[in-house]
């Protein structure tokens, strides 16, 4: 099930807004495509991130995937639990965030609702 409390990008990332803070993570589809995640390169606290800039790289054994931010702003929190247990992103992609950004600007055009994302997934399904 795709949670309806947040927005999605066509790059299979999610963002949830809570009082000016953008909480960022990757979707179930993203974790499945990557396979077993072995490392998450977390951004520094206080790092300034631009829209479209990669704020993290998620690594599996065979791939390294930079994740672009749909928002700009300052990193205020990172999920340090991922340092020890990157597999949490595989196990619970919607329950585990990667970073929280004090949001300055949002690229609304890039964001889909849960329904739109579900449709996007269906349209782009590999056959």
Q: Binding residues for other proteins, per CB under 8 A?
A: 36, 38-39, 41, 44, 57, 59-64, 66, 86-87
Closest CB to other proteins among 3 and 35? 35
In whole angstroms, how close is the CB of 58 to other proteins at the nearest point? 9
Residue in the structure block whose two tokens are 């829209």? 51
Closest CB to other proteins among 38 and 112? 38
In whole angstroms, how close is the CB of 62 to other proteins at the nearest point? 7
In whole angstroms, how close is the CB of 66 to other proteins at the nearest point? 7
Closest CB to other proteins among 57 and 107? 57
Closest CB to other proteins among 19 and 44? 44
In whole angstroms, how close is the CB of 105 to other proteins at the nearest point? 23
Return the exposure string of 53-67: e unless at least 16 CB atoms fall within 10 Å of the residue's CB, then b: eebbebbbeeeebeb
């Amino acid at each position: 099930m795709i949670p309806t409390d947040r927005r999605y990008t066509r790059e299979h990332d999610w963002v949830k807004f809570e009082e000016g803070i953008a909480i960022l993570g990757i979707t179930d589809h993203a974790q499945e495509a990557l396979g077993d995640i072995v490392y998450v390169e977390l951004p520094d606290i206080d790092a300034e991130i631009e829209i479209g800039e990669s704020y993290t790289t998620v690594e599996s054994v065979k791939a390294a995937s930079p994740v672009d931010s749909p928002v700009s702003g300052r990193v205020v929190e990172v999920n340090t639990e991922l340092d020890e247990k990157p597999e949490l992103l595989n196990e619970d992609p919607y329950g585990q965030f990667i970073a929280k950004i004090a949001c300055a600007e949002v690229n609304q055009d890039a964001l889909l609702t849960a329904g739109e994302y579900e449709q996007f997934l269906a349209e782009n399904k590999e056959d």
